[in-house]
Structure 1
Amino acid sequence: MHSLKSRLAAWVFLPMLVCSAIDLVVTYRSADRVATEVQRQLLKGSARIIAEQMAADGGASNGAPPAAFELFADENQDRVFYAVRRADGRLLDGDAALTSSQSPGQGDQETYFKSRVRGEPVRVVAYGQDLRDGGHITVEVAQTMRGHAALRKRLFLMTAREHLILLALVLAALAVAFRWLLRPLMQFSERVAERQPGSLEQLDADAVPRELLPVIGALNGYVVRLDQTLSAYERFVASTAHHLRTSFAILTSQLNYGMRDERITPEQKALLAAMQNTTVQGTKVINQLLILASIEQGRPHGAREQASSYSVLSEIVTSVIEELAPLAQRCNIELGLDASDAGLVLAAPSHLVREVTFNLIDNAIKHMDGPGSVSVRIQRAGNCALLRIVDTGPGIAPPHLDRVFERFYRANPDKPNSFGLGLSIVKEICDSLNGEIRMGAGDQARGLQVDVKLPLAVVGVPAELQALSHPDLRECS
Structure 2
Amino acid sequence: MRSLRRRLLIWLLPAALLTGLLASAATYWGALSELNEVLNDQLKGIAQHVVVEPDGHLSLRGMQGANEDRLSGEQSHTVLLQVWRGTTRVFSTDRDSSMPPPQAAGFSDIEVNGQLWHTYVERNGELLVRIAQARRARWEAVAEIATALFWPVLSLLPVLALFVWFGIGYGLRPLRQIAANLKRRDANNMQAIDTAAMPVEVKPLVDAINDLLSRLDHAFTAQRQFIADAAHELRTPIMGLGLQAELLPKATGSHERDAITAQIRAGTARLAHLAEQLLTLARLGPESPAPVFSTVDLTALARGVVGDRVRYAEANEIDLGLVATGVVTTSGNADGLRILLNNLVDNAIRYAGAHARVDVIVSREDSCAMLEVRDTGPGIPEEDRARVWERFYRGDGHTSSGSGLGLSIVRRIAEQHHARISLGGGEDNRGLTVTLRFPRGRPHVVNVDEDKTSGTATV
If the length of structure 1 is used for normalisation, what is the TM-score?
0.43
Q: Which has the higher contact order (CA 8 A, sep 6+)?
A: 2
